[in-house]
Amino acid sequence: MAAVRAQVSKPIAPDADASQAPAEPAPGQKPNPAIRVTTQTVPLTITVSDKKHNFITDLGQRDFRVLENGVPQDISFFSAETDLPLRIAVLIDTSNSIRPRLQFEQDAAIDFLNRVIRPLKDQAFLMTFDNEPQVIQDYTEDVGLLSDAIRDQRAGGGTALNDALYMASEKLLNAPLPKGTDKDVRRVVVLISDGNDNLSDRAPSDAIEAIIRSGAAVYAISTNTDWITLDQGEAPRKYEFTEGDKILMQFSDQTGGRTFFPYRVEDLGESFVQIGTELRSQYFIAYTPTAAPDGKYRKIDVQVDRKGLIVRTRRGYYAKAPDAVASSD
């Protein structure tokens, strides 16, 4: 399968509908880079579930239909990736803005690793970010080492979220592969943050481009606390999505992951079970577009022939012509 190369051009607005092309910059505003993909083959990692959030894992290639800008595409590769070894980047926001919630983040990360990492099969590394991203613990299958490193972290400084995602993506791209002939792995970013960024050199679109290039999906856990509790005894619910929340959703929507909004640490358990199950309950599809690259945004729509099922994958890409030069001017 041909490799995917990404280039950049227009910005993806944090609050844009992920199913549509990014909005144009406001008059007088200088655009930041965004994703453009030069590709011969478009790869898709796909999650299928029913309305009760049960994952559907018994589908075959004939059950799927892929459309690009409404035009059916021929599937050139299909695989049900239910048990691939995992390579996980755990990114913990340690900036000053999350100081009151640092223990929340630490408990969340340790809980996730204990539930998901399988000895002799999966590996993870820990990265923190405040003024700059830093790898605290390199790839390991030892959850004890990862947990100790997580517990040692303290909050302070600014927030370089985009830079952290970019750096983590590069590390995932060069992840250690399994021994033997089967070298396939599932690359994942678990991001625990409030989504705010005030120090990165890179734009959100640079981070998304790098994630797509690595083949990873972002599963974001928001630490924002904009919740409301009603006197009628109803469960707490989120009453507002902050700009940080929207950024987190943008990362996950564009890469085929999910964003979670837990109320308490105790509420995280089911979310992490869902992430772990989902990572081993996915499909991989690749297709070669029928239309020649034209530099325009192309919307991807994946359908299945069973009624009532929900399909999640990345929403689209820019089909940049191979001989064109990317510019951020």
Q: Sketch out the chain's domains with CATH numbers.
A: 5-12+33-82+288-318 (no CATH), 86-279 (3.40.50.410)
**Calpha distance 314→284 (Å, rounded):** 12
Burial tier of 111 (Cβ tally within 10 Å: 0-12, 13-18, 19+): middle
**What's the CA dihedral at 200, 202, 206, 210 to 10 degrees?**
-70
Q: What angle do CA 287, 290, 294 make, to 5 degrees?
A: 110
Along the 329 residues of the chain, how does pLDDT read in single tens digits? 433 333 332 333 333 333 444 444 444 444 444 444 445 788 788 999 998 888 999 999 999 999 999 999 999 999 987 678 999 999 999 999 888 888 878 887 888 899 889 999 999 999 999 999 999 999 999 999 999 999 999 999 999 999 999 999 999 999 999 988 888 888 999 999 999 999 999 999 999 988 877 888 999 988 887 665 555 566 666 667 889 999 999 999 888 899 988 877 667 667 777 787 888 888 989 999 999 888 788 889 999 999 999 999 888 776 766 554 444 44
Half-sphere exposure for 132 (CA within 13 Å, toward CB): 3
Q: How far apart are CA 3 and CA 11, in angstroms?
A: 24
Fill in the amino acid letter for 261: F
First and final C-alpha spacing in the chain:
33
